Structure formats: C-alpha cells, structure tokens
Amino acid sequence: MRKQSRRFDDDDLDTTYEKYFSEDPEWDETPDKPEHGDRWSTWDLSSPTERGPVPYPEWLVTDLAAVDTEHGVLKTGKEADACLVTRAIPGTNRSCMLVAKRYRSHDHRMFHRDSGYLEGRRVKESRVNRAMASRSAFGKEAIAGQWAVAEFGALCHLWNICEQLGVKPFVPYPVQILGTEVLMEYLGTPDGTAAPRLANVRGTDAELHDLWEQMLLALTVMARAGYTHGDLSPYNILVHEGRLMIIDLPQIVDLVANPQGKRFLERDVHNVVTWFAARGIEGLDEASITAELLAEAGVR
C-alpha cells in the first residue's frame, strides 16, 4: 500500500527547522510608534478607493508625518463604538478632529434583526454568502466588514450626489476605511463636545421648520440615489451649526434590491414625521411623503 505523502502545509508536521547564526544577532526591538500620539496616521494604509471623495476637504490632514491621538469614546452601540481622534502634524498647528467608528468582532452582539437589512446584499464569493447566512464565526466577521463597507460606501455616494446636485451634504465627510474602522468628519465643538442629537434640540418654530425642510430634502436625495436609511430616528440625526446631519448608515437599505425596502422607508418617514409633528409642524402626511419618495426612487 502506497504511503500517502504529506502536504507542505500540514499542521501536524513534527519536523522543526532552526536557523543558526555564527554569532548572536542584534535585533532592533524599538516599536515603530510616534514620539507623541497613539499611532501614525493610517491615511497611507488605505488605497485610493478606500478614501473619501476628491477633492479632499482643506481641513483634512493627509500628510504621512501626521499622528493620531485618541480622546475616548463618543458613542457606544450594539455594533460599533465611535471614538474621537485628533490627526495632527507634530510641531505644527495643522490638525483635524475625526470620528473613528470601529465595528466589533464576531464575539460581540451584532445588529438585532440584521437579516432584514442584509437582504439584497451579496458578496462575490459564494462561500462567504453561505457563512453569512449560517452566522458562523467567519460569517459574523464578514458581516462586520460588510457593515463598515456599506456605511463608507453610502457616505461616499451620498456626499457625491449632494455635490452633483449643488446641495449641502447632510452626512459627515467619509475620510477613509481601514478594515472594520471607518474614519469620518467630526461634528461638534473643538473642545470635544459632539453636536446634539435632533431628539435633544429645542428650537424656535422657525428653526424647527427649517430643520424639517432639510429633513425632507435629505430624504428626497437619498430616495433619488435609491436608498433609505433603514433605522432613521431623532437619535441618529445630529444638528451641527444649524445643519441637519444624518449618521449611523451601516444598515442603509437599497430600495430596489431589498424586497423590504418600502417597509423600511415607511418606518423612516413615520419616525421623523412623528417627531416633527409633535413639535408643531403641521400638514405632514406620511402616506403622501412616502409615495413621493418611492416615485423619486422609481419604485412602485
């Protein structure tokens, strides 16, 4: 009987190999860390397609000599933590503040009812699709990566759509994606105080009417791009310097590809209409607003 040969990469090979030196080598164990800050800027680790839309904003620091400094967690959620980061060039006054949204690994709790959001999303490799469907450890890692990719892609697409339409962007600028970390524009004050959520805003009648007009415009632009937020509420909408800004977009829903797209849109509209109506904005008809948005998306 012929003895089966071992494969080169068998894990149970009992042969060990050692490299011998004529004299003890001197190893440089100095960590490649900046003198100040927590890490070197990760800008050069992302490929051009993993960076935000061009032209890059003037405030964004892209120099390779920059370092990132962590300032703690701004917001924690079921699927990710949002941390405040300063990216600066040591010895200069050139710096910018960013939000690093880091999606958790498979051993942490992920989105509730995530299967509904994932409908219509597929990756090229069938084995990855099967793993995601079965929620294996590898599949959950793939899902975490897909949330990050989906959010970064949606931010880039919506930013570009706004630029094309001449509309002020209603999402933070997406700086870059690196694995399951999405870096984006920080919305808040220089002292690290994040912009307030819409749920906490107490504006005048004129200010609330202006915010509603911004909300309706944002919903319309998203629908025209074929999207609905999927989990829109006054708690993931910020008000920064009078501008309404939508955040938390990993579960963004394709109104055409997702068979439940209309239901997600109806829920998004209901959530924001209910909030604005409760604060005195009159004449808001959920059904007609939803119908107009579906028409913008080309969905019957």
| Tens-digit pLDDT profile for residues 169-222 | 999 999 999 999 999 999 999 999 999 999 999 999 999 999 999 999 999 999
Q: What is the CA radius of gyration of the chain?
A: 24
Handedness of CA 132, 271, 219, 185 (dihedral sign): negative
Per-residue model confidence (pLDDT) at position 39: 95
Residue 109 lies in a domain: yes
Distance CA 180, CA 80 (A): 9
Residue 46: inside a domain, yes or no?
yes
* Helical residues (DSSP H) of the chain, grouped into ranges: 114-118, 126-134, 137-165, 205-224, 261-278, 286-297
Least confident of 62-71, 92-101, 109-118: 109-118
Percentage of the chain beyond pLDDT 70 is: 76
Phi–psi pair at 52, nearest 5 degrees: -70, 175
- Helix and strand totals (H; E) in the chain: 6, 10
CA 6 to chain centre: 45
pLDDT for 32 = 76
Confidence (pLDDT) at 113: 43
Regarding whether 60 and 146 lie in a shared domain, the answer is yes
Same-domain pairing of 204 and 141: no
Beta bridge partners of 228: 253
Q: Return the bridge partners of 98, or none.
A: 85, 185
Residue 293 lies in a domain: yes
Question: Domain range holding 65?
Answer: 37-190
Residue 1 lies inside a defined structural domain of this protein: no
Q: What is the CATH number of the domain that holds 275?
A: 1.10.510.10
CATH number, position 46: 3.30.200.20
Alpha-helical (H) ranges within 166-242 are: 205-224
pTM, two decimal places? 0.80
- Count of domains forming the chain: 2
Higher confidence at residue 135 or residue 181?
181
Question: 201 and 174 in one domain?
Answer: no
Say which residue the tokens 């909408």 belong to.
237
Query: Do 199 and 156 fall into the same domain?
Result: no
Domain boundary among 159, 190, 221: 190
Residue type, 22: S
Boundary-marking domain end, from 190, 211, 231: 190
Q: Quick count: other Cβ atoms within 10 Å of Cβ 10?
A: 9
Q: Are residues 164 and 62 located together in one domain of the fold?
A: yes
Kindly report which listed range (145-149, 229-233, 252-256) carries the lowest average pLDDT score: 145-149
Q: Which domain-ending residue is among 164, 190, 216?
A: 190
C-beta of residue 177 within 8 angstroms of C-beta of residue 99: no
Is 80 exceeded by the pLDDT of residue 269? yes
Output the pLDDT for position 38.
Answer: 92
Place of tokens 């938390």: 248
Establish if 275 belongs to a structural domain: yes
DSSP summary character for residue 6 = P
Same domain membership, residue 211 and residue 148: no
Is 50 found in the same domain as 166?
yes
Among residues 237, 213, 223, 211, which one has the least CA distance to residue 266? 223
Residue 31 lies in a domain: no
159 occurs within a structural domain: yes
- Give mean pLDDT, residues 129-147: 55
Written as six digits, the tokens of 70 are 């962590």
pLDDT at position 104: 83
* Residues 80 and 134 grouped into a single domain: yes
